[in-house]
């Protein structure tokens, strides 16, 4: 039996017909529930130095971040987020309910502390 899926972040801050806005908080080493991203989303980092993801079928992704880092992520992955840093991690995650028409967009980032690293 597979593990049931949980929420994509800690708590919902706002929702309407266009977006769903979440807050994610993780203590050092803490992991989120296993969850699936069915919508494209934007991560806005408020606090933390690294957020990792155990991505089902793909491996472990390490993403160095800093306050002000912003990441756009297309939908489709099932994962568990892990605070890989030494301090608290906090982000605002904005799910986009109206997906762009056409091809699925690629991951895009701004203001990262370093490149994401995939470990299989």
Residue 25 to residue 85: CA distance in whole angstroms: 12
Question: In the chain, what's the furthest Cα-to-Cα distance?
Answer: 40
For the chain (120 residues), the mean pLDDT of every run of 10, in chain order, is 85 93 97 95 97 95 95 93 97 86 71 81
Q: Are 50 and 105 in contact (CB under 8 A)?
A: no
Supply the pLDDT for residue 91.
98
The domains located in the chain, with CATH, are 11-100 (2.60.120.10)
């Amino acid at each position: 039996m597979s593990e049931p899926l949980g929420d994509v972040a800690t708590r919902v801050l706002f929702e309407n017909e266009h977006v769903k806005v979440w807050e994610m908080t993780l203590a050092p080493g803490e992991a989120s529930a296993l969850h699936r991203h069915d919508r494209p989303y934007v991560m806005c980092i408020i606090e933390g130095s690294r957020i990792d993801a155990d991505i089902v079928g793909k491996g472990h992704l390490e993403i160095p971040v800093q306050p002000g880092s912003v990441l756009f992520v297309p939908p489709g992955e099932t994962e568990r987020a892990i605070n890989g840093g030494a301090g608290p991690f906090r982000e605002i995650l904005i799910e986009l309910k109206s997906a762009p028409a056409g091809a699925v967009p690629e991951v895009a980032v701004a203001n990262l502390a370093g490149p994401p690293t995939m470990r299989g």
